[in-house]
């Protein structure tokens, strides 16, 4: 059957064409100063090279790149190509990322909304080392680690299934200096202890949103008794708890801030607490420090801090909701294992940046298409897709972008889109471990 030009698949292709058509790319290139006057340089091939070809074929040397252009009918020397990798090209590729981040497919609405939250926001970072010559712009932590490294701060909305923000930094920059962006009322913000900062929690509360975080042991805790603030010790609470106990306690955090919040404590099985103590002692021994008894007692519980009340989110859901944060770790795994983002060779700084931004454009496009099919398949068939399996297949679809400018190939690509749901459901479904809830199951449990 011949695919309809008005089908959902045709509309997806049309949206991709809009972002990658030569006219749109040239308009963006002129606005960023990458192209200042008419040239024979083929901008479309330049973008396709950075987004599609380089990581796939390991075509990275200037000579290889110039041969690639020659095969496409564009004669450019390696010196001329080296000149093209400049600050204007970097700015152009950065702006292309910004545009692709806001790409939305027609009719896409994400998962059915939970009544209590507008969005479930995940934030985390991933880091990898770079060749030493990049340290001027991307400084590393130094010491035994590399003197040069790059960090990607990433935010994702699990409820609407869409990217929110990507930021690139030096790897020596602390996560605590990267608060959530564009917080909206009724957002739920999840992040690990690296982002634990009372001023960030204040901002979230100010915007009418929620936070859920692991509790940082060395933060001072108060309770309010007869209008007086009284410091409490965690171990005095933990020692009274039995295995399986789950409590919520209104507290105030910080010597100066005294931020109102709810402390959630869950007593864990002895096997788990023993493993926690073992790891803590091992780390302390490596650093040459002694672990206090009070800190060891803290290993007996899972401790969370939140401004969500029990009516909004029952205690029994806290741990499973927080576990959703690990979804972003799976995303990072695909960045490295599927898209080879962390594989870097020494080269000119601007060429490295263009290549990195090009790979991020490809990652975002694949994520958009994955999110579209993930939610569509779940909403219609209640089948949950595996991120790792699906991304490998969807990357093949994105690779076809280099042919969307050819009219004769469009029906072939539309047919590829039409076949995608069947292939994903058959080959890329998530395996549910016995006794474990999948992310979609957890989201379904939110009141």
In tens, the pLDDT along 311-366 reads 888 899 999 999 999 999 999 999 998 898 988 888 899 999 999 999 999 999 99
Residues 6 or more apart whose CB falls under 8 angstroms from that of 93 comprise 50, 353, 354, 357, 358, 361
pLDDT in tens, 122-144: 999 999 999 999 999 999 987 65
Q: For the whole prediction, is pTM greater than 0.85?
A: yes
pLDDT at 4 over 60: no
pLDDT above 80 (res 198): yes
Averaged over 366-376, what is the pLDDT?
90
Give the up-direction half-sphere exposure of residue 63: CA atoms within 13 A in the CB hemisphere: 0
How many residues does the structure list for the chain? 447
Q: Are 238 and 298 in contact (CB under 8 A)?
A: yes
Those residues whose C-beta lies under 8 Å from the C-beta of residue 385, and which sit 6 or more positions away, are 370, 373, 374, 377, 378, 424, 425, 428, 429, 430
Whether residue 444 has pLDDT greater than 70:
yes
Residues 6+ apart with CB under 8 A from 267: 238, 241, 242, 243, 244, 245, 246, 300, 301
Count other Cβ atoms within 10 Å, centred on residue 178. 22
Q: What is the pLDDT of residue 110?
A: 72
Burial class of 223 by CB neighbour count within 10 A (0 to 12, 13 to 18, 19+): middle
pLDDT of residue 6: 55
- Model confidence band, residue 54 (pLDDT cutoffs 50, 70, 90): confident
Question: String of b and e for 394-416 (b: at least 16 CB within 10 Å)?
Answer: bbebbbbbbebeeeeebeebbeb
Cβ atoms of 171 and 152 within 8 Å: the answer is no
- Is residue 406's pLDDT more than 60? no
Q: Across residues 179-183, what is the average pLDDT?
A: 92
Distances (CA, A) of 200 to 177, 205, 206: 9, 9, 10
380-406 mean pLDDT: 82
- What six digits make up the tokens of 222? 């108060």
5, pLDDT greater than 60: no
Specify the DSSP class assigned to residue 435. T
Q: For residue 58, what pLDDT is reported?
A: 60
Quote the pLDDT of residue 43: 85
φ/ψ region of 73 (left if φ > 0, alpha if ψ in -120 to 50, else beta) reads left
DSSP secondary structure letters along 371-424: HHHHHHHHHHH--PBPHHHHHHHHHHHHHGGGGTTSHHHHHHHHHHHHHHHHHH
Least confident of 48-57, 88-97, 353-362, 364-373: 48-57
DSSP label at 215? P
Which residue in 446, 391, 397, 444 sits closest to 419, CA to CA?
A: 397
| pLDDT score recorded for residue 114 | 62
pLDDT (0 to 100) of residue 248: 94
Question: What single string gives the DSSP state of each residue in 108-133?
Answer: ---SPPPSS-SEEEEEEEEEEE--GG
Per-residue pLDDT averaged across 224-250, rounded? 89
Lowest mean pLDDT among 88-92, 213-217, 224-228, 254-258: 224-228
Cα torsion 182, 177, 159, 168 to 10°: value is 90
Q: What does the pLDDT read at residue 57?
A: 59
The predicted model gives 291-316 an average pLDDT of 90
pLDDT of 390 reads: 93
Cα–Cα nearest to 395, from 340, 330, 321: 340
Residue 153, strand partner residues: 125, 167
**Residue 55: pLDDT over 90:** no
Angle at which helices 8-20 and 407-427 pack, to 10 degrees?
Answer: 120
170 pLDDT tier (thresholds 50, 70, 90):
very high
> pLDDT over 70 for what percent of the chain?
92
With a CB cutoff of 8 Å and minimum separation 6, the contacts of 274 are: none
**Among 21, 10, 9, CA closest to 48:** 21
pLDDT at residue 3, as a whole number: 47
* pLDDT at residue 2, as a whole number: 46
Backbone angles phi, psi at 209, to 5 degrees: -110, 180
Contact 413, 295 (CB under 8 A): no
SS3 of 33, please?
coil
Structure confidence at residue 162 (pLDDT): 86
Spatial separation of the C-alpha atoms in residues 15 and 108, rounded to whole Å: 13
Percentage of the chain beyond pLDDT 90 is 44
Least confident of 43-47, 106-110, 284-288, 440-444: 106-110
Residue range 419-437: average pLDDT? 86
Indicate the pLDDT class of residue 242, thresholds 50, 70 and 90.
very high
- Mean pLDDT, the chain, rounded, equals 86
CB 316 within 8 A of CB 246: yes
């Amino acid at each position: 059957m011949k695919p309809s030009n008005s089908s959902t698949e045709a509309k997806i292709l049309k949206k991709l064409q809009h972002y990658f058509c030569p006219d749109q790319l040239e308009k963006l290139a002129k606005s960023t100063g990458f192209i200042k006057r008419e040239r024979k340089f083929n901008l479309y091939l330049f973008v396709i090279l950075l987004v599609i070809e380089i990581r796939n074929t390991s075509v990275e040397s200037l000579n290889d790149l110039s041969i690639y252009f020659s095969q496409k009918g564009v004669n450019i020397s390696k010196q001329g190509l080296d000149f093209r990798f400049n600050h204007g090209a970097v700015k152009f590729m950065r702006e292309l990322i910004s545009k692709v981040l806001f790409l939305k497919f027609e009719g896409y609405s994400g998962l059915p909304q939970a009544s209590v939250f507008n969005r479930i926001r995940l934030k985390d970072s991933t880091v990898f080392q770079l060749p030493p010559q990049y340290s001027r712009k991307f400084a590393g932590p130094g010491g035994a680690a590399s003197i040069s490294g790059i960090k990607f701060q990433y935010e994702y909305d699990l409820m609407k299934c869409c990217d929110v923000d990507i930021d690139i930094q030096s790897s020596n920059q602390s996560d605590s200096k990267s608060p959530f962006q564009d917080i909206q009322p009724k957002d739920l913000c999840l992040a690990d202890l690296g982002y634990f900062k009372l001023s960030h929690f204040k901002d979230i509360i100010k915007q009418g949103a929620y936070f859920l975080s692991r509790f940082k042991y060395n933060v001072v805790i108060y309770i309010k008794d007869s209008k007086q603030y009284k410091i409490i010790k965690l171990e005095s609470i933990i020692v009274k708890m039995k295995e399986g106990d789950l409590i919520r306690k209104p507290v105030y955090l910080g010597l100066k801030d005294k931020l109102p919040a709810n402390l959630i404590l869950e007593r864990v099985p002895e096997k788990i607490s023993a493993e926690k103590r073992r790891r803590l002692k091992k780390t302390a021994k490596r650093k040459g420090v002694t672990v206090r008894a009070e800190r060891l007692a803290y290993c007996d519980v899972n401790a969370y801090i939140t401004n969500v009340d029990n009516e909004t989110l029952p205690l029994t859901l806290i741990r499973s909701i927080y576990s959703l944060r690990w979804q972003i770790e799976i995303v990072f795994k695909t960045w490295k294992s599927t898209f080879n983002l962390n594989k870097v060779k020494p080269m000119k700084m601007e060429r490295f940046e263009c290549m990195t931004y090009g790979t991020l454009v490809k990652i975002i496009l694949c994520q958009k298409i994955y999110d579209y099919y993930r939610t569509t398949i779940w909403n219609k068939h209640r089948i949950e897709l595996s991120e790792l399996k699906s991304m490998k297949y969807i990357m093949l679809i994105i690779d076809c972008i280099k042919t969307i400018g050819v009219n004769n190939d469009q029906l072939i690509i539309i047919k590829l889109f039409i076949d995608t749901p069947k292939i994903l459901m058959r080959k890329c479904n998530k395996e549910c471990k016995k006794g474990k809830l999948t992310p979609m199951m957890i989201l379904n449990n939110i009141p």
